């Protein structure tokens, strides 16, 4: 479980989150809603270890361990995964080699007796995931996200989640700017990676995702504060009356 208690965050001396307390439990799914600028992405970036966010008061634990004492790589190896709202482009790094490195690092951390996959074996292993996400194999030789469309970047983010099978999967507006067909592929693959052993934590402005994923808890942020938390019936109230 990820437990967040009395969290306050500043960015460049500006208060972003104000006394936030919430939790994320494997086997359950969470929807984080709120207007633009309410602090949703700031919470996600902070949990993943973005150094721009300074905590003022806090208690954040992941499976009983102090999350804030961990480097970003340690957080990832502990099962925390973040799909960025704005996915960065990284030149000079081939996509397939990047995927092989993160997979082997994650694999050998949790199963030291397992040998890392060779380039040849890894490409064969990867093929089924490429088919599921309708990713052309030629993408593997391209530089990481360089020149990719928004839709292509979304698929690569989901591909990483499939490979790593993380325990806590934060998806920051992964369903934004997609046409109907693209949204359906994303939603169906989100459903596939969602199991009783992990938690989906979805930040979104779109309620169509509810047709694919069952959410147990809805958190609403407003002006950096936790405005309300409730079951998925809260979404119906928002659809009818808005965030106010």
Q: State yes or no: pLDDT of 234 exceeds 80.
A: no
Give the pLDDT score at 241.
65
Report the chain's mean pLDDT, rounded to a whole number: 87
24 lies in some domain: yes
Q: State yes or no: pLDDT of 242 exceeds 70.
A: no
Q: Are 179 and 227 found together in one domain?
A: yes
Give the pLDDT score at 148.
92
Q: Are 116 and 235 found together in one domain?
A: no
Q: State yes or no: pLDDT of 59 exceeds 90.
A: no
234 lies in some domain: yes
120 lies in some domain: yes
Mean pLDDT, residues 143-172 taken together: 92
Query: Domain range holding 182?
Result: 2-84+166-241
59 touches 5 (CB < 8 A): yes
Q: Are 236 and 176 found together in one domain?
A: yes
Mean pLDDT, residues 176-191 taken together: 84
Give the pLDDT score at 29.
94
| Pairing of the two strands 168-172 and 199-203 | parallel
Give the pLDDT score at 211.
83
Ranked by mean pLDDT, which of 10-19, 46-55, 88-97 comes out on top? 88-97
Q: Are 71 and 112 found together in one domain?
A: no
Q: Are 66 and 102 found together in one domain?
A: no
181 lies in some domain: yes
203 touches 170 (CB < 8 A): yes
200 lies in some domain: yes
Question: What does the DSSP 8-state code read for residue 68?
Answer: G
User: Lowest-confidence range among 50-54, 145-149, 168-172, 228-232?
Assistant: 228-232
Q: Are 68 and 179 found together in one domain?
A: yes
186 lies in some domain: yes
174 touches 86 (CB < 8 A): no
What is the model's pTM?
Answer: 0.90
pLDDT bucket at 111, cuts 50 / 70 / 90 = confident
Q: Are 65 and 183 found together in one domain?
A: yes
Mean pLDDT, residues 39-53 taken together: 90
Q: State yes or no: pLDDT of 228 exceeds 80.
A: no
Q: Are 225 and 108 found together in one domain?
A: no
Q: Are 174 and 198 found together in one domain?
A: yes
User: Structurally, how many domains does the chain consist of?
Assistant: 2
Q: What is the pLDDT of residues 131-157, one digit of tens each?
A: 988 899 999 999 999 999 888 999 999
Residue 45 or residue 178, greater confidence: 45
45 lies in some domain: yes
Ranked by mean pLDDT, which of 147-151, 207-211, 232-236 comes out on top? 147-151
155 touches 135 (CB < 8 A): yes
Q: Are 58 and 95 found together in one domain?
A: no
Q: Are 21 and 70 found together in one domain?
A: yes
Domain of residue 189, CATH code: 3.40.50.300
pLDDT bucket at 66, cuts 50 / 70 / 90 = very high
Mean pLDDT, residues 14-34 taken together: 90
Give the pLDDT score at 232.
66
Q: Is 225 exposed, middle or buried (0-12, 13-18, 19+ CB in 10 A)?
A: middle
């Amino acid at each position: 479980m990820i437990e967040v208690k009395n969290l306050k965050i500043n960015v460049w001396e500006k208060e972003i989150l104000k006394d936030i307390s919430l939790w994320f439990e494997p086997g359950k799914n969470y929807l984080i809603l709120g207007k633009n600028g309410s602090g949703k992405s700031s919470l996600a970036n902070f949990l993943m270890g973005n150094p721009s966010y300074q905590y003022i008061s806090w208690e954040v634990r992941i499976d009983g361990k102090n999350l804030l004492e961990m480097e970003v790589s340690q957080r990832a190896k502990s099962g925390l995964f973040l799909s960025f709202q704005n996915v960065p482009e990284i030149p000079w790094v081939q996509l397939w080699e990047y995927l092989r490195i993160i997979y082997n690092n994650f694999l050998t951390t949790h199963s030291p007796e397992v040998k890392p996959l060779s380039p040849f074996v890894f490409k064969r292993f990867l093929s089924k995931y490429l088919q599921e996400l309708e990713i052309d194999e030629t993408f593997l030789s391209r530089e990481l996200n360089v020149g990719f469309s928004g839709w292509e970047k979304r698929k690569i983010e989901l591909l990483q989640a499939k490979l790593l099978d993380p325990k806590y999967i934060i998806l920051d507006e992964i369903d934004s700017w997609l046409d109907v067909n693209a949204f359906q592929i994303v939603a169906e693959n989100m459903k596939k990676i969602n199991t009783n052993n992990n938690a989906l934590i979805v930040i979104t402005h779109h309620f169509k995702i509810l047709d694919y994923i069952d959410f147990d808890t809805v958190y609403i942020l407003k002006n950096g504060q936790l405005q309300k938390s409730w079951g998925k019936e809260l979404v119906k109230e928002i659809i009818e009356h808005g965030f106010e």
